[in-house]
Amino acid sequence: MDLLAQILINGILLGGLYAVMALGLALVWGVLNIVNLAHGAFIMLGAYVSWHLYTYAHIDPFLGLPITAVVMFCVGYALQRGILNLVVRAPMFNTLLITFGLEVVLTYLAQLAFSADFRTINPPYAGHSIFLGPVVVPMVRLMAFGVAIVLTVAMWLFLLHTRLGRAIRATAQNLVAARLYGVEPRHLYAMTFGIGIALAGAAGGLYGTVSQINPYIGATLTAKSFAISIIGGLDNPLGVIVGGLFLGIIESLTALYIGPTFADVASFGVLVLVLIVRPSGLLGKTA
Amino acid sequence: MKALRIILILAAVAILALVPWFGSDVLIQFGINALLLAVLAQGWNIIGGYTGYASFGNSVFYGLGSYGVAIAMVQWNLPFYFGLGFGVVLAVVFAILLGIPVLRLRGHYFAIATLALAQVMSAIVSNVALAGRNIGLVLPPLNNDPLFYELSLGLLVVATLTIYWLTRSRFGFGLIAIRENEEGAAVMGVNTTLYKTLAFALSGIFSALAGGIHAYWITFLDPESAFDISLNVKMIIMAVFGGPGTILGPIVGAFSLSAISEVLSSEVTSIAGLFFGVVVVAAVVLMPRGLADMLRRFRKTGWRYFSENIRAHRI
């Protein structure tokens, strides 16, 4: 029973991180109708930015998250403005393919720049834990979970209550009408993509504190983010919390009862199953 | 004109077939790789180019074909050609069992579902005792590169003839109709589920055969290399760069990109990977309909061809 409680706690803590990973993907998909296959690669890049800040400038990984997010926002804005805006009205396959290409470019650039070695961000408090009866809660994972939830809720409030957030939602609903009300789509698309990539970068910074990073983690993280978006739906940012927790718990249970190598199989199994049963997503909008 | 074209193609095939007699070992080995990649690109062309279902999981078929040969030869001591057949059976069974549910998905959803399948296959196979778990299998060596070269060339010719047949058969027109408008095709009496599954299986057969030949040639395989996801990148890029939905486009794409990446990877290995990524991004922006379409129209429009493509899709 204690073991099960521990596994559930692990799954929930992992799930919070998954939620913020998927948040950027869901935003870009919902507004720009681009499924960003390079999303995981941006998470990877964010993790490396955080790692460099910590290793060379000694900035705490949690306090450094805003810097990581700003750097990644600039990367995302420039990419959307310079490249992706050129193909945004092309057929679905073209946008899928171009982000696929970006993923390849980012992965190999990271390999050239950072080498293929595994890296971890280990702040001095990395070994600390909190004991809740028999259950151990690692400090870093709890902090990552907290930041992830705060980011997701902040994103939700931002979309609901700010001028830019309203413009983004309006564009997602109807581009023509949004333009009539003075939305400049090139800038707005770039802002949206930039915010999505900033969220990916922040997620990467958090990921680096709880797990190992190398240039090849991107593809798996993209597929997980996609699965979470599908389960949670694109309409409401809080949906990704449901999707993230669901996936985190499923993976932890699979790792315990079937075997650690099957954790990824389980998450993709869930993805394929959900797609087959409800091709438009469990709580999501219809395609 | 038409007779001339046929003679040119026959001459090209004849010259390619003669390569083992005058080429160096390095050239033959490069040729085997390029020919097998061209087969994969043609296989993808059937489901992605003609049927319009962008599969990001054709590497699964390649891996199944590799393991078909390896299991038959190592575990059961059966001859190579039986192994190829076994690999094809595995691929067809997979295409039907998973194709029927997955092919119901459209667009992004189909692409991601196939990508997810490609990602789990190596994890699943590394737990199968018959397939040597994560250690892999070592095949009996056969030091006969010219044979592997001719086999690969023969396979490419068969794959290309199949695609030629698609462009003038009822089945092929059905697939094109599905690509253009699936509801419309269904209304016109095309059994879309059957056609899509057959196209998926056909695409899988060629990928599996390529995998089987490659496994016996390399004589070693493990889950990571057999179900290598980056193989999807290569086959899709080659098909799209050359011209998806054309008969010869994927071959042109495969040969030209293999040659460039061979030159680049002799400098730094990861440069070749980077190059593939840059080619995709540039190709999607500048020539989304591939090299074949560009060559056809470039004569008329000149450099405006590129700016018109951008103007058509930008916001």
Domain ranges of chain B: 2-313
pLDDT tens figures, A5-49: 888 888 899 898 999 999 999 999 888 888 898 999 999 999 999
Torsion sign (Cα): A111, B283, B104, B202: negative
Record: contact B280-A219, CB cut-off 8 A:
no
Q: Which of B233, B271, B285 sits opposite A87 (nearest CB)?
A: B285
- Contact A268/B284, CB-based, under 8 Å? no
Which of A104-108, A196-200, A242-246, A277-281 tops mean pLDDT?
A196-200
Quick check: A268 pLDDT over 80?
no
Could you tell me which of B177, B153, B163 has the C-alpha nearest to residue B244? Answer: B163
Chain A residues touching residue B277 (CB < 8 angstroms): 101-108
- In this prediction, residue B61 carries a pLDDT of 94
The percent of residues above 70 in pLDDT, for chain A, comes to: 96
- Tell me whether residues B119 and A86 touch, CB distance under 8 A: no
Q: Are residues B310 and A100, on separate chains, in Cβ contact within 8 Å? A: no
Q: For residue A35, which residues of chain B lie inside 8 Å, CB to CB? A: 108, 111-112
Tell me whether B286 touches chain A (CB under 8 Å).
no
Whole-number pLDDT of residue B201: 95
CB atoms within 10 A of CB A126: 14
Q: Worst-scoring range by mean pLDDT, A125-129, A224-228, A233-237, B202-206?
A: A233-237
Q: What is the pLDDT of residues A170-208, one digit of tens each?
A: 888 888 888 888 888 899 999 999 999 999 999 999 999
- Give me the half-sphere count of Cα atoms (radius 13 Å) on the Cβ side of residue A188: 22
Strands B220-221 and B137-138: antiparallel
Task: Pick from A89, A100, A262 the residue to mutate for testing the B interface (most B CBs within 10 Å).
Answer: A100
Are residues B277 and A104, on separate chains, in Cβ contact within 8 Å? Answer: yes
**Confidence (pLDDT) at B136:** 80
Question: What's the pLDDT at B305?
Answer: 82
Q: Check CB contact under 8 Å for B284 and A98.
A: yes
Q: Which two tokens stand for residue B18?
A: 């003669």
Q: Is B228 helix (H, G, I), strand (E, B) or coil?
A: coil
CA gap B271, B257 in Å, rounded: 13
Of residues A8 and A260, more confidence is placed in A8
Closest CA to A213 of A46, A23, A57: A46
Domains of chain A: 2-277 (1.10.3470)
pLDDT at residue A286, rounded to an integer: 44
Say which of B54, B237, B288 has its CB closest to residue A90. B288
Element (H or E) spanning A137, and its range? strand A135-138
Question: Minimal Cα distance from B103: which residue of A?
Answer: A276
Coil, helix or strand at residue B179: helix
Q: Which of A93, A101, A185 has the CB atom closest to B315's CB atom?
A: A185
Q: Determine which of A83, A188, A228, A271 to mutate to test the interface with B (most B C-beta atoms within 10 Å).
A: A271
pTM: 0.86
Residue A287 has pLDDT above 70, yes or no: no
CA B59/CA B234 separation, integer angstroms: 10
Alpha-carbon distances, residue B159 vs B36, B154, B247, B253 (angstroms): 11, 9, 10, 15
Region A146-173 average pLDDT: 90
| Chain B residues near residue A109 by CB distance under 8 angstroms | 274
Q: Any alpha helices (H) in A83-217, and if so which ranges?
A: 92-114, 139-161, 163-173, 175-180, 185-210
Tens digit of each residue's pLDDT (9 = 90 or more) over A73-91: 999 999 999 999 998 888 8
Pick the CATH number of B2-313 from 1.20.1070, 1.10.40, 1.10.3470, 3.30.360: 1.10.3470
Q: Is A238 helix (H, G, I), strand (E, B) or coil?
A: coil
Block means of pLDDT (10 residues each) for chain B, 315 residues, are 84 86 86 93 93 90 93 89 93 91 82 83 82 80 87 94 93 92 90 93 95 91 84 86 87 89 74 82 85 81 82 81
Contact A223 B119 (CB under 8 A): yes
Rounded CA separation A165/A156 (Å): 9
Region A279-286: mean pLDDT is: 53
Q: Identify whether the C-beta of residue B55 lies closer than 8 Å to the C-beta of residue B203.
A: yes
Q: For residue A1, how many other CB atoms are within 10 A of its CB?
A: 6
Q: Determine the residue of chain B that is closest to A33 in CA distance.
A: B108
A283 pLDDT band, cuts 50/70/90, is low
Averaged pLDDT for residues A154-167: 91
